Chains A and B, each alone.
Chain A
Amino acid sequence: MQPQLNITEPTRAAATATDLKMETRGLSVYYKNFRAIKEINLPVYENRVLAIIGPSGCGKSTLLRALNRMNDLVPGARVEGEVLLDGENIYAPGQDVVDIRRRVGMVFQRPNPFPMSVYDNVAFGPRLLGIRKKSVLDEIVERSLRAAALWEHVQDKLGQSGMALSGGQQQRLCIARAIAMEPEVILMDEPTSALDPMATLTIEDLIQRLKENFTIVIVTHNMQQAARISDFTAFLSMDEDRAGYLVEFGPTVEVFTNPKEKLTEDYITGRFG
């Protein structure tokens, strides 16, 4: 059975390459001796949504987390190759990892608000940057919450714990928290996998609007979601050593309707995965 693909016209129109925001060149990531992904060359275009899809364990998350050096936190993780952000290798010696993470924000699989108020959650990042002035913080908090389509719901309860919100609202709070840093790229690691369908839809709408100001890379298990929201799709699979590699990259419409690789076709038609 052919999957129901619901690619909207604006998505089609947007699926044109713009400036390169990020790029991986021959990127391999090892955990101790295990190679999780190998020699991945992947462009990330500015103000576009890039979806990374592929079967479980093919290294989608590893690839995503290599884009803002979150793998640095994993003991024994090692990177070969380059990840360029505006043409500069973020793994080059002397690069400030803290600065990179400020430019490349991240939203996680499970909503992970801090156990503090909605306001303090959003203001967390700006405060790290040394912003102390109440009026400035107020402005950032409101703007970020508006951008995350959460302002209407929480404007009267900014002092309430962020953990008291519903799952979908928590995830939008986490998006607001990431936006407050004014990153250039936002990485999303299966941001809706812990949410119900309605909350998922809200987040998907949000992603569509966010790409006006941000470059977005999203890992998703859900092919429909990739088809709905992304401009470009990268399909990863794994070889016999269980190392993830890039099978196909292209405009989402192409990858889903006219895949070049047999493997891609098998995957998106549900024959494996």
Chain B
Amino acid sequence: MASSSTSLRRKLMRHLQHGDVLWWALLLLSAVVVVVLVLWIAWQLWVQSAPSRHAFGWDFIWPWVKSVWNPALDKFQAWPAIYGSLITATIALVLAVPLALGIAIFLSELAPAWLRAPLNYMVEMLAAIPSVVYGLWGIYVFLPLVVVPIGKALEPLGSVPGIGIFFKGPVPASGFTRLGAALVLVIMILPTIAAVSRDVLQAVPRSQREAAMALGATQWETVWKVLIPYGQSGILGAVILGFGRAIGETMAVTMVIGNSAGGGYSILKPGYTMASIIANEFAEAVSEMHTSALMEIGLVLFAITLLLNAFARWLVVNRTIKRA
């Protein structure tokens, strides 16, 4: 009796173990798929960009090389697109971060309970709007009503020595400019940064708030001197995620940036971003070199976003472990 029940248990255990092995293998497979996909994409970009890499070398991405983007001559240089991505994402970030932090602080600390849920919902809604809708809204509403007036107001800065090159006008009447792309990006990355920062602030232990309050800190002081320092790595992570989203955003930017390889450094002129030049030209790229050059831009974009995400993740994880 005793032995039969033991052997039954053993059988059961073995059965379960087989199940475990199967389950484990399935999960491993799904994890491997992700890794393989990433490596495959990277490999493809690397291989397909070979002609361009061999023909142009590092000159392809340097800012100080005279820029040409001429499919007819098969001459390509990517700096204007790289610059377009960096400048639009940076402007977007500079404007979005304070606003997003304000939203996060309000949602996490100040908003009365009845307002919190609908506001949270709205913020998440903002993140869920498809980017093509942002693009359309940008073209028909945002560019003429907001971007053009702001651009006009900035035009006088074009004659200021030093920073003048960034504000060379005139602003096109359509509003298709790097500034337009940057401002649309502000709205698009706002919910990402706000939602993550809000979660970070809410994750600060109650004991930290109480410690500050018990020392006679006002709510303002508690937020700025305790909560934000406590959550700084998480907030930094949120900011980098926002930057990653801004630099990778394709559809809306392509629709509002004007798609031109010229424009110098002025934010009041149309330009390209890495993502938008690929989206805009890939279908019409007939020569191998043109395709390859776009692939190389894709490679650069891939590398930048990968590094940014890795950095953000490292910051968040690193600090979370330290806290625990």
Contacts and interface: CB of A to CB of B under 8 A. Distances in A.
B118 interface: no
Contacts of B216: 98-99, 101-102, 125, 128, 181
Interface string A103-122: 00110101011111000000
B215 A112 contact: no
A114 B214 contact: no
Given A105-B215, A178-B215, A112 B226 contact: no
A75 B207 CA distance: 16
Contacts of B229: 114-116
Interface string B268-287: 00000000000000000000
Contacts of B113: 75
Q: Which of A73, A102, A112, A116 has the most CB of B within 10 A?
A: A112
A115 B215 CA distance: 16
B9 interface: no
A249 interface: no
Q: Which of A98, A116, A178 has the most CB of B within 10 A?
A: A98
A178 to B, nearest CB: 7
B323 A115 contact: yes
Contact of B210 (A73, A113, A124, A181): A73
A68 B210 CA distance: 12
B108 to A, nearest CB: 14
B210 to A, nearest CB: 6
Contacts of B218: 98
B152 interface: no
A160 B285 CA distance: 59
Interface in A132-182: 174, 177-178, 181
Interface in B199-233: 205, 207-218, 221, 225-226, 229-230
Nearest to A69: B213
Contacts of B226: 114
Contacts of A113: 211
A181 B215 contact: yes
Interface in B219-254: 221, 225-226, 229-230
Nearest to B205: A112
A110 B207 contact: yes
Nearest to B113: A75
A114 B210 contact: no
Given A115-B323, A116-B229, A124 B215 contact: yes
Given A113-B211, A114-B229, 11 more contacts: A68-B214, A70-B213, A106-B210, A110-B207, A112-B207, A112-B208, A114-B208, A116-B229, A124-B215, A128-B216, A181-B215
Closest 6 CB pairs of A and B: A102-B216, A112-B207, A106-B214, A125-B215, A101-B216, A112-B211
26 contacts: A70-B213, A73-B209, A73-B213, A101-B214, A105-B215, A106-B214, A108-B210, A108-B211, A108-B214, A112-B207, A114-B208, A114-B212, A114-B229, A115-B229, A115-B323, A116-B229, A124-B212, A124-B225, A125-B215, A125-B216, A128-B216, A128-B225, A174-B211, A177-B211, A178-B215, A181-B215
